[in-house]
Structure 1
Amino acid sequence: MNFILFDGSVRKQLLPFTFTRPVADIRVGILTIREKWERWLGSTTSTVTEDYLSHKWPLVEMSENIMINASFLPTPELVAQIESLEEGQAIFFDEEVVAFYTLEDQEVNFEEYLQLELSGDPLRIEHTWDIFSKNGEALTADFELITANRNSCTIPSSNNVLAAENIFIEEGAKVEFCILNASTGPIYIGAKTEIMEGSLIRGPFALGESSVVKMGAKIYGPTTVGPFSKVGGEITNSVIFGNSNKSHEGYLGNSVLGEWCNLGADTNTSNLKNNYAVVKLWDYETEKFASTGLQFCGLMMGDHSKCSINTMFNTGTVVGVSANIFGSGFPRNFIPSFSWGGSGGITTYKTSKAFEVAEIVLNRRNLLFSNEDKEILEQVFEDTKKWRRE
């Protein structure tokens, strides 16, 4: 069977992260949503997404296909229900289609389908803040999936450890003279990673392949650091997709960073309002600030965005794609994509300059800043013009 992941109705609610990727490629827990589905299904997947993203994530359609709404994370019950789908059947949850069987080039009319109810309670990513607020549940599920019937590498004796049975270390990881407390949730330490001496880690926590935790870091779960990243200072309940750095002192709490982000030394994010009120975030769909229903919510930063040393972010700040933030004081709590500046004023960050930086950053990781990447960012630049001062 051919499996296809589609963005569904929540894509705009997941901006700025879905400006530069399909919903399926959001990281929550240890794995991306796509990686979860492919492990559960034992199959590769392709994608239905925005036209400008489809060159990088093309659709592969076969004679028989099962379409899966990528905002729903796999569970044993849902996977079993999807694998048993037959022609003319679809799974729904609260009037939202979860998955359906389709033939190649078929015109889909759900009124003609047998509509099945979703089995079990779904774990779904509908809003940007779900990425960190549901990260603990997703991380625990991924930990069980990844480590099933496998043995961890030995935990070096120099570490102080609680609940060692909830710690899994992959080959090539270095962990010495640290405190690892997995009594509050699992700790996953990926291949070729390093947690430097003096670090304090409290689960649930995941460290992706080839990432580094700097000396003396203090990390509270549920937190995920994706692959090829560096982190230091203090972090609480945050998700870093990958290829991003928060290497120095400073606080990051209840936040999400995309890829190719960099936070300068002593960058601090507020995650609680002084009056303890519910936090509002910029909503790209309504073009207004909307309630998250959360008391704790920090920074949402899109891909390729960066800030200078000593940057201070207000509670509930949304930073778009490829913004460069600097200067004293608090910048606005909505910073459009391709912005240059801070509290003293913002101008447009020209694509020619932004692309120069992106090329250098990717080359440092021996990666190519491709024409596809440029075309995606050019489209984001055009789509976000209305929020910038040109």
Structure 2
Amino acid sequence: MMINLFDDKSWLSLRPLTFTRPVADLRIGILTIAEKWAKYLNASFGFKTQAYLSIKYAPIQAGLSINGSVCPDQQLLDAILALKDNQVLVKGGVVIAYQTQDPTLDHHQALEKLTVVNYQQDFTHIVFPEHIFSNNHQELVKDFELLTKGRSSGTLSSTNTFLGDQIFVEEGATAECSTFNSLQGPIYLGKNTQVWEGCNIRGSFALCNNSQVKMGAKIYGKTTIGPFSRVGGEINNSIIWGYSSKGHEGYLGNAVLGQWCNIGADSNNSNLKNNYGEVKLWDYGQESFRETGLQFCGLIMADHAKCAINTMFNTGTVAGVSANIFGAGFPRNFIPDFAWGGVHGFEVYSLSKMLETAVKVYERRDTVLDTTETAILSHVFELTKQYRRF
């Protein structure tokens, strides 16, 4: 089967995380949304996304298009597979999926021109950044079942302590002298992962391929560490897309980090206001702070953002693409894309200097910053100028 994952207006409300990717490339649970659909449908996939992202995330020839902000479940899967040609599945004005042989039709036109099939059930719809950590536990549980059903787990050293038996270990994963508590949710250790000595890990938790948890780390449930990452300290209900580091002491909670991020030693984010009030997050579309309805909400950090040692993030902070934060005190709750500075003030982090750093960061992971990535980052730099009012 061949499918395309399309962006709807959620792409706008999920910024800054989506400045560098389609919505379906967001990680929630263990897999990205696109990987979930591919696994459920045994399908190859492409993306219908913003023009500047299509140089990396291209569409493919496919009759079935699925909303990239919708996470799959069995009922939804059955409804989508039941679609006939020239039908569109809709709930509450949201186009979930449509089937057509016309490759030029987008989801707006599908709603106007195709036969509507109304969907009656609830589904997981990722519209705002906080929806990622809020729904991570349920998606992690579903992904764990999807990835491990009918398979046998590897084994870990007898130096570890296990509470519960909801743990799955892929080939090459190792751990020593650590505690794994899967009584509250499953624990998944991907290929070639490492859990170093003295770690305490509570499910639900996923450590994706080629990532490490450093000595003495304390990791609470509803947490996902994506591939090629390294983490330490204290982490709770957070998702790291991958290729990022939080390698030292410090607290990260109710947070989402993108790719190529780095958190300096002893940095912390607040996830609860002193008055226990509702947390607001910066909204790019409104250019103001939006009510989340949440009491716990920490840090949203986009791709290539970094902070120095001892950085303190206030409750509900949004750090944009390639933001570079340093200095004492709490920086403001919205740090624009390509901003350089902290409490003392910000200036523009020039594109040339940012790319110089990115080349070195990629080299450390045996990866190359190619012309495609450079073109996307260059476009984002121009796209976000309006938010840098220094």
Pairwise same-fold verdict (TM > 0.5): yes
One-letter code of the match for 1:145?
A: L
Alpha-carbon distance, 1:119 to partner? 5.1
One of 67, 70, 76 as aligned partner of 1:69: 67
* Farther-moved stretch of structure 1 (377-386 vs 248-257): 377-386
CA contact (8 A) 2:98 2:110 kept: no
Q: Gaps (5+ residues) in structure 2?
A: none
Please give the alpha-carbon distance, in whole angstroms, between the structure 2 residues aligned to 1:199 and 1:2. Answer: 42
CA contact (8 A) 1:77 1:119 kept: no
Q: Where do residues 48-67 of structure 1 align in structure 2 (5 Å cutoff)?
A: 48-62=48-62, 65-67=63-65
CA 1:70 to 1:134, structure 2 compared with 1: closer, same or farther past 3 Å?
same
CA contact (8 A) 1:192 1:211 kept: yes
Please give the alpha-carbon distance, in whole angstroms, between the structure 1 residues aligned to 2:316 and 2:104. Answer: 43
Please give the alpha-carbon distance, in whole angstroms, between the structure 2 residues aligned to 1:54 and 1:112. Answer: 25
Q: Where do residues 348-359 of structure 1 align in structure 2 (5 Å cutoff)?
A: 348-359=348-359
CA contact (8 A) 1:340 1:349 kept: yes
CA contact (8 A) 2:91 2:120 kept: no
One-letter code of the match for 1:67?
A: S
Q: Deviations over 1:59-92 (max 9, x none)?
A: 1235xx1110011111111112212211121111
CA contact (8 A) 2:259 2:303 kept: yes
One-letter code of the match for 1:128?
A: P
Please give the alpha-carbon distance, in whole angstroms, between the structure 1 residues aligned to 2:104 and 2:351. Answer: 40
Verify: 1:158 aligned to 2:150, yes or no: no
One-letter code of the match for 2:42?
A: G
Q: SS of the residue aligned with 2:282?
A: strand
Q: State the partner residue of 2:92.
A: 94
Q: State the partner residue of 2:261.
A: 261
Please give the alpha-carbon distance, in whole angstroms, between the structure 1 residues aligned to 2:117 and 2:52. Answer: 33
* Farther-moved stretch of structure 1 (304-313 vs 84-93): 84-93
One-letter code of the match for 1:83?
A: L
One-letter code of the match for 2:89?
A: I
Q: Where do residues 378-389 of structure 1 align in structure 2 (5 Å cutoff)?
A: 378-389=378-389
Verify: 1:310 aligned to 2:310, yes or no: yes
Please give the alpha-carbon distance, in whole angstroms, between the structure 2 residues aligned to 1:9 and 1:87. Answer: 25
Q: SS of the residue aligned with 2:331?
A: coil
Q: State the partner residue of 2:31.
A: 31
The normalised TM-score by structure 2 is 0.97
**Equivalent pairs: percent with the same residue?**
52
Q: SS of the residue aligned with 2:18?
A: helix
Please give the alpha-carbon distance, in whole angstroms, between the structure 1 residues aligned to 2:103 and 2:297. Answer: 43
Q: SS of the residue aligned with 1:256?
A: strand
Please give the alpha-carbon distance, in whole angstroms, between the structure 1 residues aligned to 2:147 and 2:206. Answer: 12
Please give the alpha-carbon distance, in whole angstroms, between the structure 1 residues aligned to 2:345 and 2:366. Answer: 35
Alpha-carbon distance, 1:156 to partner? 2.1
Please give the alpha-carbon distance, in whole angstroms, between the structure 2 residues aligned to 1:223 and 1:124. Answer: 19
One-letter code of the match for 1:72?
A: V
Q: Where do residues 206-217 of structure 1 align in structure 2 (5 Å cutoff)?
A: 206-217=206-217
* Farther-moved stretch of structure 1 (318-327 vs 81-90): 81-90
One-letter code of the match for 1:150?
A: R
Q: Deviations over 1:142-201 (max 9, x none)?
A: 00000000011123211111112x000111111111110000000001110100111000
Q: Where do residues 86-125 of structure 1 align in structure 2 (5 Å cutoff)?
A: 86-105=84-103, 107=105, 108-118=109-119, 120-125=121-126
Please give the alpha-carbon distance, in whole angstroms, between the structure 1 residues aligned to 2:340 and 2:103. Answer: 45
Q: State the partner residue of 2:141.
A: 140
Q: SS of the residue aligned with 2:141?
A: helix
Q: SS of the residue aligned with 1:254?
A: strand
CA 1:110 to 1:174, structure 2 compared with 1: closer, same or farther past 3 Å?
same
CA contact (8 A) 1:346 1:389 kept: no
Alpha-carbon distance, 1:109 to partner? 4.8
Q: Where do residues 151-300 of structure 1 align in structure 2 (5 Å cutoff)?
A: 151-164=152-165, 166-300=166-300
Please give the alpha-carbon distance, in whole angstroms, between the structure 2 residues aligned to 1:229 and 1:109. Answer: 40
Please give the alpha-carbon distance, in whole angstroms, between the structure 2 residues aligned to 1:242 and 1:342. Answer: 25
Please give the alpha-carbon distance, in whole angstroms, between the structure 2 residues aligned to 1:173 and 1:348. Answer: 42
One-letter code of the match for 1:345?
A: G
Alpha-carbon distance, 1:116 to partner? 1.5
One-letter code of the match for 2:90?
A: F
CA 1:106 to 1:319, structure 2 compared with 1: closer, same or farther past 3 Å?
closer
* Farther-moved stretch of structure 1 (29-38 vs 100-109): 100-109
Alpha-carbon distance, 1:121 to partner? 2.2
Verify: 1:85 aligned to 2:71, yes or no: no
Q: Deviations over 1:232-257 (max 9, x none)?
A: 00001000000000000000000000
CA contact (8 A) 1:260 1:305 kept: yes
Verify: 1:129 aligned to 2:135, yes or no: no
Alpha-carbon distance, 1:383 to partner? 1.1
Aligned length: 387
* Farther-moved stretch of structure 1 (198-207 vs 72-81): 72-81
Q: State the partner residue of 1:323.
A: 323
Q: Deviations over 1:8-35 (max 9, x none)?
A: 1211111111000000100000000011
Q: SS of the residue aligned with 1:238?
A: strand
Please give the alpha-carbon distance, in whole angstroms, between the structure 1 residues aligned to 2:110 and 2:344. Answer: 53
CA contact (8 A) 1:81 1:119 kept: no
One-letter code of the match for 1:13?
A: S
Please give the alpha-carbon distance, in whole angstroms, between the structure 1 residues aligned to 2:55 and 2:269. Answer: 35
Q: SS of the residue aligned with 2:36?
A: helix
CA contact (8 A) 1:253 1:298 kept: yes
Verify: 1:366 aligned to 2:376, yes or no: no
Please give the alpha-carbon distance, in whole angstroms, between the structure 1 residues aligned to 2:269 and 2:136. Answer: 19
